[in-house]
Amino acid sequence: MKYTLLHLTGRDPSHLIDLPEFKNCRLTSDCASSFRKMHEDAQNDGLNIIPVSSFRNFERQLDIWNDKYLGDRPVYDNFNRPVNVNTLTGVETVYAILYWSALPGFSRHHWGTDIDIAASNLMPENYELKLNSEEYSPNGIFAPLTEWLDKNMQKYGFFRPFVDEAHVRVGTELWHISYRPDAEKFEKLITKDAIASIIRDSNIAGKACLINMVDELYDDYIIHG
Ligand SMILES: [Zn+2]
């Protein structure tokens, strides 16, 4: 399968298949087979892995971005403290959002190779999932899942793309896994021209500021959950 810029940026999901046994789960077919196998093996080890979020389209990511930029949706810093974007410059706002969210068109969730996961058997009834570091840390409710993934996920082609122990540029997301064989194909399609054209042609909040940040976005911040 040859992927194009439309696949990369979440504007053409025709390369994806639905996994009806899970809620809202759309993946590339190779990622789907691998995920199913991993799910089955984890189940034999007593873990019921569930996808919480997989494919996300461009419009959805644009809504998230614009809400955050305009202060209509909370933005958190590296200690999960809320940030008041109204007190920040445009550039500062962009960096604050990018700590936990991707630029629309450049989320790994556009590809069908990346999944946020939890384990349903580790969740108390009516538990409200937060997807934060605490839940997935050695003392958190998903510690057995984190441990199982550390030991096993690479056998199925999965890795964690957002692990920044220095907590400098992007948040560490222990719940976000990526299917490397397909994700690599998408990573190669990301260019400065692609970033510039998405910013120019979309209805993105902060456009005037973003258009001057293409080099930095490409180098440091572009790919995120
Ligand atoms: Zn994610």
* Residue 2 Cα to ligand 1 middle (Å): 24
CATH of the domain at 181: 3.30.1380.10
- In angstroms, the Cα distances linking 198 to 43, 58, 138, 194, 212 are 41, 10, 39, 6, 13
* Residue 8 Cα to ligand 1 middle (Å): 16
* Residue 55 Cα to ligand 1 middle (Å): 10
Q: What is the pTM of this model?
A: 0.93
Q: How far apart are CA 171 and CA 168, in angstroms?
A: 8
**SS3 at position 17:** strand
Residue 127: what residue type? Answer: Y
The total of structural domains in the chain comes to: 1
Helix (H) or strand (E) holding 178: strand 176-179
Closest-CA residue to 155 (of 128, 130, 181): 181
pLDDT surpassing 70 at residue 10: yes
pLDDT for the residue numbered 1? 81
* Residue 177 Cα to ligand 1 middle (Å): 7
* Residue 158 Cα to ligand 1 middle (Å): 13
pLDDT for the residue numbered 78? 83
Mean pLDDT of the chain: 93
pLDDT surpassing 60 at residue 225: no
pLDDT for the residue numbered 166? 60
* Residue 225 Cα to ligand 1 middle (Å): 4
Query: Between 136 and 222, where is the model more confident?
Result: 136
Chain-centroid distance, C-alpha 153: 17
* Residue 114 Cα to ligand 1 middle (Å): 7
- In angstroms, the Cα distances linking 114 to 73, 84, 117, 124, 176 are 23, 29, 10, 25, 7
Domain that holds residue 94: 5-121+129-221
| Angle at CA of residue 123, ends 65 and 137, nearest 5° | 70
Q: How far apart are CA 128 and CA 89, in angstroms?
A: 33
**Each residue's pLDDT tens digit, 180-220:** 999 999 999 999 999 999 999 999 999 999 999 999 998 87
pLDDT-based confidence at 223, cuts 50/70/90? low
* Residue 189 Cα to ligand 1 middle (Å): 20
pLDDT surpassing 60 at residue 224: no
* Residue 162 Cα to ligand 1 middle (Å): 9
* Residue 215 Cα to ligand 1 middle (Å): 24
pLDDT-based confidence at 80, cuts 50/70/90? confident
DSSP string, 66-93: HHHHTTSS-EE-TTS-EE-GGGS-HHHH
* Residue 90 Cα to ligand 1 middle (Å): 24
* 119-145: average pLDDT: 95
Give me the residue label for tokens 């996808």. Answer: 51
